[in-house]
Structure 1
């Protein structure tokens, strides 16, 4: 989802940052998988590789689900804050107009007297 006010450079920067963060997550999942299988000395090489692959895939699947939940929550919070900001703007505008109308009325009454 493109951000408001962000140019193409900002979008590219966000994509690069996201890619680098995901690659760091992949590297971490692979490292943790190797640590997990490291203590299982009785595994064959093929078994070790398969367990590492599945462990890393499961870890990345969970990380993706977490990121999707966070992104959905961020979007809902953004919508909520935009709604509240709109209400606040309308209230401030109404208050300003009311004060201006009151001052205009007072000034008109003072000029008439």
Structure 2
């Protein structure tokens, strides 16, 4: 894990509460928007009785929130898959980089050792 990066878990005690409040507010906003749309739909159907309009509104809001929940779940699932893919690729790249650094360090040490030995032989 990279320091300073979010691991999906809140690091601060208040972060969990902030995330929960944010989710609640987003749900409320979505529900309010669905109710406004349901009201607009019922206004275009003037022949509905009050009970029918309320029933239609309730069904519309439930359907809309269900669709929103599905869309958010698909997005969250995709984000988790992408994160796993990126973390796996990052691990491979880190291992490759470490191998290259180790190889370069070995080369430098070998060259330094060879040069030192050569200088020792020439100085004798």
Gaps of 5+ in 2: 1-6, 119-124
Indicate the residue corresponding to 2:91 in structure 1.
86
Indicate the residue corresponding to 2:4 in structure 1.
none
Work out which structure has the larger RCO, using CA pairs closer than 8 Å and 6 or more positions apart in sequence.
1
**Deviations 1:6-47 (CA, angstroms, capped at 9, x unpaired):** 333222211111111111001111110001111111110000
Alignment partner of 1:3: what SS? coil
Indicate the residue corresponding to 2:121 in structure 1.
none
1:3 CA displacement = 1.7
Alignment partner of 1:41: what SS? coil
Counterparts in 2 of 1:41-80, with a 5 A limit? 41-80=46-85
TM-score (norm 2): 0.86
Gaps of 5+ in 1: none
The 1:5–1:110 alpha-carbon spacing in structure 2 relative to 1, beyond 3 Å, is farther
RMSD after superposition: 1.3
Matched, 1:38 2:43: yes
Size of the aligned set, in residue pairs, is: 112
TM-score (norm 1): 0.94
Matched, 1:18 2:11: no
